[in-house]
Structure 1
Amino acid sequence: MTGKLFVLFTGVLLLSLLAGCSPEQARKERFISALYNLDYADPRSAGINPKKLKEIDAIVKEAIRERATPGAVVVVLKDGKIIFDRAYGHHTYDKEVPTRPFDIYDVASVTKIFATTIAAMRLVDQGKLDLDATVGTYLSELNHSHPDKAAIIVRDLLTHRAGFIPFIPFFRGIGEGDYSTESSARYPVKVAERFYLGSDYYSEVMWKQIIDSPLRTPGKSIYSDIGMFVMKEVLERIVQQSLDAYVDEQFYRPLGACSVGFCPLDRFAEARIVPTEIDTYFRGQLLKGYVQDPGAAMAGGVSGHAGLFAAAYDLAILSQMLLNGGIYNGRHYIRPETVRQFSSRHSDDSRRGLGFDCWDPESKEGYPCRLASPETFGHTGYTGTCVWIDPEHRLIYIFLSNRLYPSQTVNKLAKLNIRSRIQDVVYEAIGTSSAESRNFSPPISSVSQ
């Protein structure tokens, strides 16, 4: 170690000890700060009760003890700085690999906001996407072949009001000639280990199923992954490149979100990726680095509704950019008014924003938690994840887990209300009361419907 580095190391170590921070914690904070360009704040100096934050430990340990998840990562930011970040448990119940704070998880439907939605926001800013245009404006071939789908308003895709059915079990239609155990020019689409689909399976089979599917509830808010398949096609037609390439180029790399993206095995060591589940219904194997959602997997791992993998710190950067009104480190990614437009509720009969999930005034228990302010927006993920951004309190809460492991039919994480309870502890730590958070009406977007 050189003299200058030794002095720097000694100084940081001394400061950490004076602040009550262990040398190990100081090393972790330096590593995260250098890798992700995220700053830390002592909760006490920010007026936050550190003893209250310790209650998070007990809640996560309860989840692990009750086998709601083998492990988890929790990251909280207040006023742009990390006030809490901790990894719990292990990758599996075998307890062989401890969870680390920078491990990469399948974030499931969080893909909707940090891939599809932010891409749409940028294109709206650039005047390339009109939320009030029809799908047929961008996918012109549907005007003749499927006029009902062509007539859908883009806005309705993002607010889940297009009328699509919630999902299609695409994998049930796979026949023997549709896949191979070996990669080849005919079977290049890798769905899992030794599982390859034909090159035209998505375009010839899956896309046909999507555009042939019925519109049963147009104008009514029904959560649907199918609308996000269509939204991805609209975006890719505009930018003339794949969704994964576009968001990596426009957001992930410039932001320094160095671990987020689709198909993580192409870029990272398998040891850093947390296993999601043992798939007994489709691929017959452990899923580690392959997206859990069957439809997204069959689409090559890149879809508008699922497929994104990330470490919690990547989601912190993306969340902070949105909380800053589309700005991060002095660079403008999205206009502030566009962030507000997309993250606000868009109708009286649904809590949904444009792509985002939002605070629910109708929830008796409180959604996403009791103490979240009506400005809160974000999303949850089927694999046991969530990201919530609260502009009122300048707060970001991230929870990542692999609650499906090994193969869970009951959502114990939801049953025990783990994510919401942790979030409420955070609010209590910053001194937020129930009356303060819920004493005014939730915002409704003023944009025409």
Structure 2
Amino acid sequence: MNQLSIKSLTLFVFAMLCAGAVNAQYKQTVLNKTQLLFNKEHAVPLGRLDQTKIAVVTPDLQKYAPFIQQLERYADVASFDFSKYDEQTKYFNTIIVGGTEADLSKEMLYMLRQSLVNRKNIILCRFQDLNGSIPQWAPLLGGRVTELGYPSFSEVAQRNMAMSVFGGLAITEGNSRNRTEQTRLQYTLGEGSGLNIAKMTQKIDRIADEAIREKAAPGMVVMAVKNGQVIFEKAYGTHTYDKKSPTVIDDIFDLASVSKIAGTTPVIMHLQEKEIINLDSTMGHYLWQAKAGNKANISLRTVLLHEAGFTPFIPFYRHLKPGDLQTTSSATHQTKVADNAYLRNNYYRDVMWPEMLNSAVKPIGDYVYSDISMYVMKEVAEHETAIPMDEYVQQILYRPIGMKTAGYNPRERFERYRIIPTENDTSFRKVLLEGYVHDQGAAMAGGVAGHAGLFSTANDLAIYGQLLLNRGEYGGTRYFKPATVDLFTSKQSKTSRRGLGFDRADSDPKKEYPSKLANSAVFGHTGYTGTCIWVDPKHQLTYIFLSNRVHPQVSNKLSDLSIRGRMLDAIYETINEAK
């Protein structure tokens, strides 16, 4: 059999294995009384969100706060009342209107008619009287807007209605032609799941309290999703040990090396799937500067597996010369690495990247975890797309899927108070790091690096985890082929537990990695700042832990106490007890 035939057979066998892989198993255990009365152009559930600018309009912002807040879990929305409706909704192409039939006046409905003239997509969510008489204003909009109804008005009704709009809940009531399926995360905290959520919460609370008491981290956010349903979501502690700012679930954390699988790897998956790159081609093929060096013949696949023999870590910040870093911005120093800390221009291009390319290479094939691997993959991606990686991943994934906070250099997009501080850096930047990447090399590269630099909330990571469990689909749109997800997340190395970019559960039970009860199907990654995401296809589970264990200085107590692993085991124990 020739080499081509062997390769074809291998691909065929892999495709067959993929075909038998576990698909997402959404299980709706919540009674959703929402009815879809008219679905204009199949607007509900909403699909890709990158071209959708959403305004939510209600008669009373306070009264409809649960409705608005639930919608905000899925997308960036602006909320208004009807007082200045025309001017405030001018720049939005989708208008979600919520109200009881008593609150929605004829005048409000006439405003909506004007929006139809202006080619807005209107989704009318009305509460009460679904089975009673037809409202007198119904003919004003009937058949011209997407309309949903709920037979009562309460906080539960508002949340269920909002989830129905985005596909967080399937619509199973009413006309069979207007029923929908779940396509996004469901925020019902384990309702009807059959799991003892209260007992699990007590276990996780105790572990979190221990972590804070032992100063493993000042605060943390923990989240778990099973079968597409958020079964646990809670914030603990405070931003820092001064206890002034309580941690909340939508705080933004420095993900550290979770950036590898949630930032760089999906870009590489996309490029490989589109045949823009070939994982068996070499660094020298894609990178001119690598052609004449010791890395020219190293394949991208080997790089992703951390088997390229690269140096694990180069402490670039220790090599700075007088004048390279200064406290004020100037024409020559515009790379901001922290508050009041500016690096000289093009330091990454002129110093760091050449040093990485010229660094020593050990024998290829042995597993040596190296940050240089993902610096390389970022360079390959940017040379092939001609787009900065931070913008490219927003285009192909984050914006379409509804990952609202995920991205690099968060201080350019969010207020400081939303971002969890990390280390009080006394050796390099001489300041508390607030919204600037903890990793020194990533900071010196302008905050965007292949191995670090990504910031996110737990909710955004949960969306990404569900995409992976769905084998590439989310919100009714496919972003990756199932075979692509299976390839990158499955064990691909003969010498380590690794997938392509992804880390995986260790087969040695003595290592208890990522936890005692984790199974061999689990994949994900940890981050140096005290973060992790683990995805378990067998149990249709995503587990997320975000903390700032490096505050105020680096400490190993989070690992020594096995905080992340013990919390994951508490979740597994709850699942096993329910069987």
Q: Normalising by the residue count of structure 2, what TM-score does the alignment of the two structures yield?
A: 0.69
Q: Is the 8 A contact 1:164 1:217 kept in 2?
A: no
Q: Deviations over 1:54-79 (max 9, x none)?
A: 11111111100111000000010001
The alignment status of 1:12 with 2:12, answered yes or no, reads no
Give aligned-pair identity as a percent. Answer: 48
1:275 alignment counterpart: 421
Q: Residues 141-180 of structure 1 correspond to what in structure 2 (within 5 A)?
A: 141-144=289-292, 146=293, 148-180=294-326
Query: How many aligned positions are there?
Result: 421
- Partners of 1:160 and 1:431 lie apart in 2 by 34
- Partners of 1:78 and 1:14 lie apart in 2 by 21
The alignment status of 1:194 with 2:328, answered yes or no, reads no
The alignment status of 1:62 with 2:204, answered yes or no, reads no
1:441 alignment counterpart: none
Deviates more, 1:393-402 or 1:40-49: 40-49
- Partners of 1:161 and 1:373 lie apart in 2 by 24
CA 1:103/1:14 → structure 2, altered by over 3 Å: closer, same or farther? closer
2:506 alignment counterpart: 360
Of 374, 392, 405 in structure 2, the residue corresponding to residue 228 of structure 1 is 374
RMSD across aligned C-alpha pairs, in angstroms?
Answer: 2.5
2:472 alignment counterpart: 326
Per-residue deviation, 1:43: 2.2
- Partners of 1:14 and 1:254 lie apart in 2 by 27
2:560 alignment counterpart: 415
1:110 alignment counterpart: 258
- Partners of 1:175 and 1:42 lie apart in 2 by 53
Per-residue deviation, 1:15: 6.4
2:405 alignment counterpart: 259
Q: Secondary structure at the match of 1:251?
A: helix
2:287 alignment counterpart: 139
Per-residue deviation, 1:378: 0.3
In the alignment, structure 1 segments of 5+ residues that lack a partner are: 17-24, 437-449
The alignment status of 1:213 with 2:359, answered yes or no, reads yes
CA 1:365/1:212 → structure 2, altered by over 3 Å: closer, same or farther? closer
Per-residue deviation, 1:346: 1.3
Q: Is the 8 A contact 1:164 1:214 kept in 2?
A: yes
Q: Is the 8 A contact 1:71 1:402 kept in 2?
A: yes
Amino acid at match of 2:195: I
- Partners of 2:452 and 2:311 lie apart in 1 by 17
Structure with more relative contact order (C-alpha pairs < 8 Å, separation 6 or more): 1
Q: Secondary structure at the match of 2:153?
A: helix
Per-residue deviation, 1:29: 9.7
Q: Is the 8 A contact 2:516 2:569 kept in 1?
A: yes
Of 331, 335, 339 in structure 1, the residue corresponding to residue 485 of structure 2 is 339
Larger radius of gyration: 2
Of 274, 278, 294 in structure 2, the residue corresponding to residue 126 of structure 1 is 274
- Partners of 1:273 and 1:12 lie apart in 2 by 33
Q: Is the 8 A contact 2:221 2:236 kept in 1?
A: yes
The alignment status of 1:374 with 2:520, answered yes or no, reads yes
Amino acid at match of 1:423: L
Of 218, 230, 254 in structure 2, the residue corresponding to residue 82 of structure 1 is 230
The alignment status of 1:431 with 2:548, answered yes or no, reads no
- Partners of 1:198 and 1:206 lie apart in 2 by 12
Which structure shows the higher helix fraction?
A: 1
1:310 alignment counterpart: 456
1:443 alignment counterpart: none
In the alignment, structure 2 segments of 5+ residues that lack a partner are: 1-58, 64-98, 104-126, 129-149, 169-182
- Partners of 1:416 and 1:11 lie apart in 2 by 46
Q: Normalising by the residue count of structure 1, what TM-score does the alignment of the two structures yield?
A: 0.89
Amino acid at match of 2:287: L
- Partners of 1:53 and 1:206 lie apart in 2 by 47
1:53 alignment counterpart: 200
